[in-house]
Amino acid sequence: MAVAFLLYVIAEFAAIWAVGSLVGVLGTIALLLAGAFVGSWLARREGGKAMRAFVSKAQSGAPAEKELTDGMLIALGGVLIMVPGFVSDLLGLFVLLPPTRALARRFWLRRAEKRAIKFANARRGPVMVVDSEVVAEDPRPTQHQVIEGRIVEG
């Protein structure tokens, strides 16, 4: 994780340096500020849409994992837009724009499903489900409780 963060910082510095050498210091600062303003406006607009979609799905009683994931990705995009830098702005726009957010959502849901299965099986071991009933692979023999005593006939 530390290597990824270091690579990100190097990429941000390289992007700012490249843009700064093309448009100058004031132009670079203006582009960073414009990106923050446009990105925050876009995050607010898309966040409102996602919230309305989530509320309508929840009121209808249908599963709303798509809308919930969209809301999470929009929040992530808003944070990335507010971080100064061009690489973070591009990543933020990637998860804010609806067509590319759909790609990110599919990736995120697949990853979450795989991780949930992996961690659930690691904790309780592999299980088998038959007709909605969880069946253990190696059923443990039932142990009977033994009460010691003597029989009195009377």
Question: What is the reported pLDDT for 115?
Answer: 82
Burial 20-53 (b: 16+ CB within 10 A, else e): eeeeeeeebeebbeebbeebeebbeebbeebeeb
Answer yes or no: are the C-beta atoms of 40 and 16 closer than 8 Å: no
pLDDT of amino acid 142: 60
Residue 135, beta-bridge partner list: 128
Best CA proximity match to 112, nearest among 63, 69, 64, 67: 69
Supply the angle between the helices 2-60 and 86-96 in degrees, to the nearest 10. Answer: 20
pLDDT in tens, 102-128: 999 999 888 888 887 777 666 666 666
Beta bridge partners of 129: 134
pLDDT in tens, 4-27: 999 999 999 999 999 999 999 999
> Would the pTM count as exceeding 0.75?
no
